[in-house]
Structure 1
Amino acid sequence: MTLKELFAPFGLEAPPLPVRGLTLDSRRVEEGYVFVAVPGVPLPHRKPLDGHDFIEEALRRGAIAVVGERPLALPVPYLRVEDGRKALAALSARFHGHPERALPLLGVTGSKGKSTTSALLHHLLERGGIPSALLSTVGLRLGEEERAPIGHFTTPEAPEVYGFLREALDRGLKAAVLEVSSHALALKRVEGLSYRVGVFVSFYPDDHLDLHGTPEAYFRAKALLVERSGLAVLNARLPHLEAFKARPHLLFGEGGEVRGEGLKETPEGLRFRLETPWGGGEAFLPLLGAYNLENALAASAAALAFGVGLGAVLEGLSSFKGVRGRMEVVQRAPFRVVIDFAHTGKSLEEALKTLRKTTKGRLLLVVGAAGERDPNRRRDIGRVAARFADKTFFTEEDHRTEPLEAILEALARSAREEGGVFELVPDRKEAIFRAIREARPGDTVLLAGKGHESTLERGPLALPWDERKVALEALGADQDALEGDP
């Protein structure tokens, strides 16, 4: 596509130069790119960056045009818009040929359970004979092909979203499942997309208030997905449910049309009877945690509504291998080691309660709290760790530009108030080694907070990180130490 064609709908005459890409990150600009300058996101803990301050860098890197919100005179074509983020989405859709118009989309949002529900829904579509794409926190899939996630966000920026949908369509896939965060909705990363089916899994009002400000604003951001969906699949326990009743919808959970009855938790997973408007049957989901029942019901309801048969859904539930970094069991015996993404007080409490049910010995925890995020999380994580773990190793978790010592002290202060047993181990690898070294037969070691993530952010650096690899290394070292004992 040429710059002339790209800018035509916006009324700006531009030369017919070939456009190679679009970005809002000046560091990613290459020769032939269009740079879109957007104001940064104001957060309580830091001054926001402003893309307009990086226009000069973008030009040095080869930008052939700039889009922005200020009156500027530049040596390249400049498109001034009222809303840079909205323009970025519109330009991305046009640049990639509007793949969203030909590819049916299924969107999944919620405070917790988005990643598992998205991955399970993709699996159910595939088992139902519908080749599908998946864009989620834990990674990408084009049919059965796996790829690493794009960046550190649940939902990447608009150029990457539309580019991914374009590739999925070009490969002949018949649907795409998108994990959609409240950040993505509020910051217009998915602007212009509508969904054949939109799933609202859960809502916890105290999450992400650093961005949204109030629970009401947080809920409104997530509700945008429902408003853009042909059919809404809704948790029957959602607040403000009456606001959605006028829209086509399907409820799941207690009191809904799609229910799980007679739930039994086993060390291997969940057994229940699935009841739906399309019929019922005995179901097995090989995941730990009763809370995964809601994720299973949400994914099943969406798949059934999209046209997957009940038999394929039941088979798909039983064959699901889980999500990397979500209650992922690294070792089962002689003591259990589990990796989970739980990084808020609420999700950590659910993880610890789940593991307590099948732990004969002690429950050991490795956890931290992220920097440049809502500081209330530290209080909640510290309290939950003290109440539900037998011993906690507080450590780093993406402290970014905040002092790690201050974060650890906040965690310790909350744990101390609850009478918790803990150690402060700033280095995460050392904390994991210590916890595994201390574990005995029958214990469970939970490594919480990082899950699937492939980087560990220390100051301005994003260092390579693989929680599973570190855990396996620690287990190998522990075994060597045991074999070396006289």
Structure 2
Amino acid sequence: MRVREILEKINHIAFFGDLNLMVDNITYDSRKTDSKTIFSAIKGFKKDGHAFITNAFDKGCKVVLCESIPIKIEGMSYIVVQNSRSAMADISYELNLSGVDIDLVGVTGTNGKTSITYLLKSIYEFNGLSAGVIGTMGALIGDKKISLDNTTPEAPDLHNILKAMATDGIRHCFMEVSSHSTELHRVKNLKFSLGIFTNLTEDHLIFHETMENYYQAKKKFFYQCQKSIINIDDPYGKRLYHELKQDEKNVVSYSAVAKADYFIEKIEIDRTGARYNLKTGLKKYYVNLKATGEFNVYNYTAAIAAGAEAGLNVDYCIKALESIKGVEGRFEFVDSTLDCTVILDFAHTPDGLEKVMETINQFATGRKVALFGAQGERDIARRALMGEVAGKFCDFVMITSDNPVYEDPMNICLEITKGIEKYHDNYMIMLDREEAINYLIENYQHDDIILLAGKSTEPYQMIEDRKVPYNEKQIAINAIRKKEKKLEGKK
């Protein structure tokens, strides 16, 4: 596409350069530019892309998308816009997604997004439909898994992934839509057949500043959806449902408390799973899950509702979910012959941790032990709140590192202890996470439930600006095998 054609499709303030240049891609990374790739100078959280225009030119770049021109380079063309991120999304869509046919279903909320996207993938594949996933655990394109830096990638990355899915014959994509992505134009121009709202609790307030801003960022997404599926048991979900209704949007509800289009009743939960009745319209369905916890009842119901609203048979949606154990890294029982239970979960907010601990409470017969940390350069207030949850529910707490970034991990841990100490002082700080896991498993007591929270399938620890490879599940397995071998040697 010629630059002239691009300018006809986007709002811009000015242009300086050659209108006849040919381009076929756009990137925000100066290291990935070439003679046919536009470099978009975006203002990031720590660095400003305008400082890398020269680097892009050195890579052969001939066209820059920018908000100002810090330096004029001979041979470089400049598209000046009010917002580089927004214009980048527009240009990328034209270059990569215009005419691409793929059905999008988006899931947003503080907790439950990853689980629901993977549950939907299971439902669709059970029904013989091809499906891809984009979210916290990366992008799944067939058997290929791509690591991602963000839950919802920047627009050019997202568009290229969707294009690759369509090229591979994948016709449906289930995507986690973060609040950052709506504010930073990452999902701009995309149309979703369905949007799902799970819940909203305190998170990302360093970015959004207030819960109202956080809510509005989530709400914005649903105006890109043909139909919305809302958890009205969540206070913000109830508000969202009514506001969308007032705006005459197509919206359905799910609930275990109030009258809803998908009504959950007679929930039974134990260690082996969850069972409940699901009423929709004039029909009632019995759901028997291998995954346990009330939070899973809500997640699975959202997935069933989405399948049904997409036109799939409800019985087949339920059969699909009854056939799986659950989602990897989400309340996952780690295989062991020890007389304790080790559970892996992504819970990294006070609400997420509380829901997991409430589930454990329903079947624990021994001590409840939790290992977790709090991320650096994120909401400081929630550290003590997570400590309070752990202090309330746990007999012993191991506090450790979780992506400290540039913060002192010890200071983060001490913030957490303020919450625990409201209930007891039975905790330990061990900054080396692997060492902490080994300690808990080496020193477990009979019937302990050991929760490893916060990291789950995340494949790294973020230390300063380095992503240090990390595999929590493998570390737990290694520690369990070591303990099993040790106990076997004593027989």
TM-score interval w.r.t. the shorter chain? over 0.9
Question: For 1:331, what is the secondary structure of its paired residue?
Answer: coil
Moved more, 466-475 or 272-281: 272-281
Measured in 1, the distance between the counterparts of 2:374 and 2:238 equals 28
Q: Which residue number corresponds to residue 247 of structure 1? A: 249
Question: For 2:161, what is the secondary structure of its paired residue?
Answer: helix
Q: Which residue number corresponds to residue 121 of structure 1? A: 120
Tell me the amino acid that sits aligned with residue 110 of structure 1.
G
Tell me the amino acid that sits aligned with residue 314 of structure 1.
I
Does 1:137 find its partner at 2:123? no
Aligned with residue 273 of structure 2, among 255, 269, 274: 269
Measured in 2, the distance between the counterparts of 1:113 and 1:416 equals 29
Is the 8 Å Cα contact of residues 231 and 238 (structure 2) preserved in structure 1?
no
Moved more, 53-62 or 457-466: 53-62
Structure-to-structure mapping, 1:200-349, within 5 angstroms? 200-204=197-201, 206-237=202-233, 238-240=237-239, 241-245=241-245, 246-254=248-256, 255-277=259-281, 279-331=283-335, 333=337, 334-349=339-354
Measured in 2, the distance between the counterparts of 1:437 and 1:30 equals 54
Measured in 1, the distance between the counterparts of 2:456 and 2:291 equals 15
Q: Which residue number corresponds to residue 356 of structure 2? A: 351
Q: Which residue number corresponds to residue 193 of structure 2? A: 196
1:366, distance to aligned residue in structure 2 (A): 1.2
Moved more, 284-293 or 18-27: 18-27
Measured in 2, the distance between the counterparts of 1:362 and 1:30 equals 59
Is the 8 Å Cα contact of residues 25 and 96 (structure 2) preserved in structure 1?
no
Measured in 2, the distance between the counterparts of 1:49 and 1:418 equals 42
Distance 1:336 1:19, change over 3 A: farther
RMSD between superposed Cα atoms in Å: 2.1
Does 1:183 find its partner at 2:188? no
Measured in 2, the distance between the counterparts of 1:289 and 1:475 equals 24
Tell me the amino acid that sits aligned with residue 421 of structure 2.
R
Question: For 2:122, what is the secondary structure of its paired residue?
Answer: helix
Measured in 2, the distance between the counterparts of 1:343 and 1:174 equals 32
Structure-to-structure mapping, 1:375-390, within 5 angstroms? 375-390=380-395
Question: For 2:397, what is the secondary structure of its paired residue?
Answer: strand
Moved more, 120-129 or 441-450: 120-129
Is the 8 Å Cα contact of residues 138 and 151 (structure 2) preserved in structure 1?
no
Moved more, 366-375 or 127-136: 127-136
Structure-to-structure mapping, 1:407-426, within 5 angstroms? 407-426=412-431
Distance 1:162 1:466, change over 3 A: same
Structure-to-structure mapping, 1:359-378, within 5 angstroms? 359-378=364-383
Does 1:162 find its partner at 2:144? no
Is the 8 Å Cα contact of residues 24 and 95 (structure 2) preserved in structure 1?
no
Deviations 1:110-168 (A, max 9, x none): 1111111111122212222322221121232335x2414322x2111111111111112
Question: For 2:391, what is the secondary structure of its paired residue?
Answer: helix
Distance 1:71 1:64, change over 3 A: closer
Distance 1:483 1:16, change over 3 A: farther
Is the 8 Å Cα contact of residues 3 and 17 (structure 1) preserved in structure 2?
yes
Measured in 1, the distance between the counterparts of 2:302 and 2:172 equals 17
Question: For 2:383, what is the secondary structure of its paired residue?
Answer: helix
1:27, distance to aligned residue in structure 2 (A): 4.5
Does 1:455 find its partner at 2:460? yes
Q: Which residue number corresponds to residue 85 of structure 1? A: 85
Question: For 1:288, what is the secondary structure of its paired residue?
Answer: coil
Is the 8 Å Cα contact of residues 336 and 480 (structure 2) preserved in structure 1?
no
Measured in 2, the distance between the counterparts of 1:372 and 1:29 equals 30
Is the 8 Å Cα contact of residues 18 and 77 (structure 2) preserved in structure 1?
yes
Measured in 1, the distance between the counterparts of 2:489 and 2:423 equals 39
Consecutive unaligned residues of structure 2, counting only runs of 5 or more, are none
Structure-to-structure mapping, 1:16-165, within 5 angstroms? 19=23, 21-29=25-33, 32-41=36-45, 48-72=46-70, 73-75=72-74, 76-98=76-98, 102-143=101-142, 145-151=143-149, 153-165=150-162
Percent of counterpart pairs with the same letter?
29
Question: For 1:141, what is the secondary structure of its paired residue?
Answer: strand
Question: For 1:133, what is the secondary structure of its paired residue?
Answer: strand
Measured in 1, the distance between the counterparts of 2:57 and 2:460 equals 29
1:332, distance to aligned residue in structure 2 (A): 5.2
Measured in 1, the distance between the counterparts of 2:144 and 2:321 equals 20
1:376, distance to aligned residue in structure 2 (A): 0.9
Tell me the amino acid that sits aligned with residue 352 of structure 1.
M
Measured in 2, the distance between the counterparts of 1:51 and 1:140 equals 25
Measured in 2, the distance between the counterparts of 1:444 and 1:62 equals 57
Deviations 1:152-191 (A, max 9, x none): x211111111111111212222222111011111111111
1:252, distance to aligned residue in structure 2 (A): 0.8
1:312, distance to aligned residue in structure 2 (A): 1.2
Deviations 1:295-332 (A, max 9, x none): 11111111111111122111112023422221111135
Deviations 1:327-367 (A, max 9, x none): 11113542111111111111111111211222221111111
Measured in 2, the distance between the counterparts of 1:157 and 1:318 equals 35
Q: Which residue number corresponds to residue 9 of structure 2? A: 9
Measured in 2, the distance between the counterparts of 1:14 and 1:178 equals 38
Question: For 2:334, what is the secondary structure of its paired residue?
Answer: strand
Q: How many residues are aligned here?
A: 476
Measured in 1, the distance between the counterparts of 2:31 and 2:384 equals 36
Measured in 1, the distance between the counterparts of 2:99 and 2:431 equals 46
Question: For 2:421, what is the secondary structure of its paired residue?
Answer: helix
Measured in 2, the distance between the counterparts of 1:340 and 1:96 equals 36
Measured in 2, the distance between the counterparts of 1:230 and 1:132 equals 19
Question: For 1:96, what is the secondary structure of its paired residue?
Answer: helix
Deviations 1:342-397 (A, max 9, x none): 11111111111211222221111111110010111211112222221111111100
Tell me the amino acid that sits aligned with residue 86 of structure 1.
S
Distance 1:147 1:88, change over 3 A: same
Does 1:438 find its partner at 2:443? yes
Consecutive unaligned residues of structure 1, counting only runs of 5 or more, are 42-47
1:413, distance to aligned residue in structure 2 (A): 2.9
1:278, distance to aligned residue in structure 2 (A): 7.6
